[in-house]
A and B are shown apart, each in its own frame.
Chain A
Amino acid sequence: MMLRGLWKLTWIELKIFLREPLGAFGTIVIPVLVFIVAGRVLGRGLAPSALAASSFISVGLPVLASVLIAVSAVLSLVTIISIYREGGILKRLRATPLRPQTILTAHVLAKLLLTAATLALMVLAGKRYYPVGVHAPLFGFTIALLISTWSILSIGFLIASIVPTARFAQPIGAFILYPMIAVSGLFAPVESLPPSLHAVARVVPLTYAVSLLEGIWKGDPWSAHMGDVAALAVVFIVCTALSAKVFRWE
């Protein structure tokens, strides 16, 4: 019976999100466009052999795009939760038999569905326009991205639980998440970072997400990345438990 409520709420949240002026455009169209344009511009000057060797285009860019989708999903979750809290929407929902977890789960599901949709579009666009032949295991990569997004979303809960007002939600979320991208090994391998940042990279959850996504994209077996999955699971459990403790409904 609660599943009925969960499904309805997820579906309605998806529809509402797509009705936002920048909703569909910002989360789906822009990442796909950036992905295509970047691939064309960077790919143009390179000979086919050099192109294949350019690991940034063949591996880095898809992973970068994916991580950006995940991060923007988290930022939008943080913003939505704080707007809902400020507007009394969370409180109104709480005055029904709806369980708190159901409300949050609905938002996570909505975000995951959007992430999956964006990814699917990227793959389609990539097949058509991308300079490099894509031979990545797409199904595995989708699973890896969903696991990563789920885990990063839990960081979003924690931020959403703490930020005082909706106005600060987005900047605070960006302030916490974007530096994580910098040390996550996305632009440069973690080993090449200054030693002082190694320790930072090791505690930043995005590092594990990037390692998992890159590995699966390159065709590594899942068994090689169980450590990453475990780390992401730990992040999820810790952040969810913490935010359940500090979450404010109004």
Chain B
Amino acid sequence: MRPVIQVSAVRKTYGSTVAVDEVSFEVNDGEIFGLIGPNGAGKTTTMECIEGLRTPDRGAISVLGLDPFNDVYKLQERIGVQLQQAQLQKRIKVWEAVDLWASLYQKNAIDGERLLEQLGLIDKRNAWFMTLSGGQKQRLFIVLALINNPEVVFLDELTTGLDPQSRRAIWDLVSDIRERGKTVFLTTHLMEEAERLCDRVAIIEHGRIIDIDRPENLVNRHCPERTIVLATDDRTAEERFRAIPRVEAVICSDSQFTIRGRGDDLVTAVIHCLSENRIRVTDFRTILPNLEDVFIKLTGHSIRD
């Protein structure tokens, strides 16, 4: 299958600042692909080069077989775009924006009213843009990005600044977009968002891509550590935990134990040890690494720093 987006060795500089360098990746048909990294890592620049809003200094980009620079208008007919921190005219009404956007495309737009209904905005169709809440604005931008029934949808920092509830609602909407057979390319600095939504992610920092894979593969590759926290009064426990293969460290404070080791079998081995020795526990938790840990491991700092 031919990839929907192909990016190879793209470089873009602003003055003496290198925004992205040697960026290469492919996005497959029908997947949700996430570009994740801290603010200023080059996510938006990369995305805007793909959308044809910026011209890379070097490298090649192909989207749906089109060159975003030379075929920008042809491309824009077939993609849907949501921009970071975009606004509309303050006093434009919701239905007017949808109506306007629908008129901008050659091919027949899909039913705007139905889209508004699906995104829970039908009650707001006569409201001015400036009166919408942050979540409602983002949902309207999703409607506008979908109005031309695009083959690829670009979502830049879609949920930044939203409260957790609106965020979750938007996540469901994005999953729905994929269910409709569209390819989604998104950027985010929220690891939870990437983990929940993305089939594959590319981690970008300082304009370079560090690794690309499915989230679970990235976690397994870079953070094989498993941690178990349990509480027991059994005085023999510490000895027995240390004897479990693959356990690398046992830290004990009062009656709380933190067991560190590697591999998926660790949890099973600890449970086995507990039952075999009839160790009575009052608490048992596993702490599994996530993309956040992968990011810290790869870059040496948290994504929020």
A96–B86 touching, CB < 8 Å: no
Q: B75: nearest residue on chain A (CB-CB)? A: A97
Q: Closest CB of chain B to A87's CB: distance in Å? A: 4
Question: CA–CA, A94 to B104, complex, Å?
Answer: 11
A95–B91 touching, CB < 8 Å: no
Q: A18: nearest residue on chain B (CB-CB)? A: B91
Chain B residues contacting A98 (CB-CB under 8 Å) are 104
For B184-198 the 0/1 string (1 means CB < 8 A from A) is 000000000000000
A97–B106 touching, CB < 8 Å: yes
Given contacts A8-B99, A8-B100, A12-B96, whether A87 and B87 have CB atoms under 8 Å apart is yes
A16–B89 touching, CB < 8 Å: yes
Q: B83 on the interface (CB 8 Å rule)? A: yes
For A84-115 the 0/1 string (1 means CB < 8 A from B) is 10011101101111110000000000000000
Contacting B101 at CB < 8 Å: which of A16, A19, A96, A99? A96
A97–B86 touching, CB < 8 Å: no
Chain A residues contacting B90 (CB-CB under 8 Å) are 16
Chain B residues contacting A88 (CB-CB under 8 Å) are 83, 85-87
Q: Closest CB of chain B to A101's CB: distance in Å? A: 12
Could you tell me the dominant secondary structure of chain A's interface residues? helix
Question: CA–CA, A92 to B138, complex, Å?
Answer: 13
B103–A5 touching, CB < 8 Å: yes
A20–B91 touching, CB < 8 Å: yes
Residue count of chain B within 8 Å CB distance of chain A: 24
Size bin of chain A's contact surface = 20 to 34
For A1-43 the 0/1 string (1 means CB < 8 A from B) is 1001100110011011001100000000000000000000000
Q: Closest CB of chain A to B11's CB: distance in Å? A: 21
Q: A17: nearest residue on chain B (CB-CB)? A: B91
Question: CA–CA, A1 to B103, complex, Å?
Answer: 8
Question: CA–CA, A13 to B91, complex, Å?
Answer: 10
Beyond A16-B92, A20-B91, A95-B83, 5 additional pairs, beta carbon < 8 A: A5-B103, A8-B99, A89-B88, A92-B83, A92-B87
Using a CB–CB cutoff of 8 Å, the interface residues on chain B facing chain A are: 51, 53, 73, 76-77, 81, 83, 85-92, 96, 99-101, 103-106, 128
Offer 19 A-B interface pairs, CB within 8 angstroms, sorted by A. A5-B103, A8-B99, A8-B103, A12-B100, A13-B89, A16-B90, A16-B91, A84-B89, A88-B85, A89-B86, A89-B87, A91-B86, A92-B83, A92-B88, A96-B101, A96-B104, A97-B104, A97-B106, A98-B104
Using a CB–CB cutoff of 8 Å, the interface residues on chain A facing chain B are: 1, 4-5, 8-9, 12-13, 15-16, 19-20, 84, 87-89, 91-92, 94-99
